[in-house]
Amino acid sequence: MIDYFVHISILFSIYAILSLSLNLVVGYAGLVSVAQAAFYGIGAYTTAILTATLGFNFFISVIVGILVAAILGFLAGLVFSKFRGDYYVLATLAFNVIIHSIFINWYDLTHGPLGIPGVLKPNLFGLSFSPNLLFFILSLLFLVAVYGVSRFIAQSSFGRALKAIREDESALKVFGYKTSVFKLSVFVASASLAAVAGSLFASYLTFVDPSTFLLTESIFILSIIILGGLGNLKGSLLGAFILVLLPELLRFVGLPDGIAAQIRQALYGLILIVLMLYRPQGLMGEYKL
């Protein structure tokens, strides 16, 4: 039972990092993106390739994953800056589809649908994080670091400018602000932080394949921050806690074996619908779409 709770806690840490990273873009800058699973996958595949294929240390792979995600985020962000509103969402959707297609079809690099096994566990100065409890401590430390970075961004003058862009971008342009630079910068920061979660995910499972990084995963991460609260970092943590824990709690509800999975999904969806009806800005949100 303890191992089970440790497992759930690791998943919570990973999704909390993802939700914090996405909230910077959606909650603070008001840019609705469904590309987060792509950067999540970029971090995961970078760690998988460097550790399993080339024998790099996990921590080096995390740094490289951040750099790769930042570069791709910068290039993608330049393109996305040409779009507004619904077209921006469609552009990020297309990016997620493109990256997922690369994971499937670039067989020489990613092994296609077969994925990459043998991803190394973290090791630092002879200390192995192979036991799940130690891996949870490591993932929690990464979560604290990501929360600290996100909080610094949110409370800085940069973060206040992002909120102003969210509320009225045209007004901010009148005062001479180059809003495109702010939006591009926060998108790159978000992509980089999402890659950290991907590295942790790959190392924890010691295996990656394209099925994890579908568009539905991006929508799930977006659901987390909408439920927890847009523009509120603590809301990101709460949303991740609820949406990671809720499906697991429903496993303990006495349901007929033949339809248990379907009923759990139906209850899961019903709970989300009720919450959104009565709290559309999320549980701790300062802003709603």
pLDDT of 184-204, one tens digit each? 999 999 999 999 999 999 999
Does residue 275 or residue 264 have the better pLDDT?
Answer: 275
In a domain, 140, yes or no: yes
In a domain, 267, yes or no: no
* Residue 94 pLDDT class (50, 70, 90 cuts): very high
Gap between the Cα atoms of 185 and 167, Å rounded? 18
pLDDT above 70 (res 25): yes
What is the residue-averaged pLDDT of the chain? 89
* Residue 71 pLDDT class (50, 70, 90 cuts): very high
- Per-residue pLDDT, 167: 84
In a domain, 273, yes or no: no
Q: Are 240 and 16 in contact (CB under 8 A)?
A: yes
For the residues 227-236, what does the mean pLDDT come to?
90
In a domain, 26, yes or no: yes
CA dihedral 84, 86, 87, 91 (to 10 degrees): 110
Does residue 102 or residue 2 have the better pLDDT?
Answer: 102
Q: How many residues does the chain have?
A: 289
pLDDT of 129-185, one tens digit each? 999 999 999 999 999 999 999 999 999 999 999 998 888 778 877 777 788 899 999
pLDDT above 90 (res 4): no
In a domain, 66, yes or no: yes
In a domain, 255, yes or no: no
**Overall pTM surpassing 0.85 (yes/no):** yes
Domain that holds residue 189: 2-213
Q: How many domains does the chain have?
A: 1
- Per-residue pLDDT, 250: 64
In a domain, 10, yes or no: yes
In a domain, 7, yes or no: yes
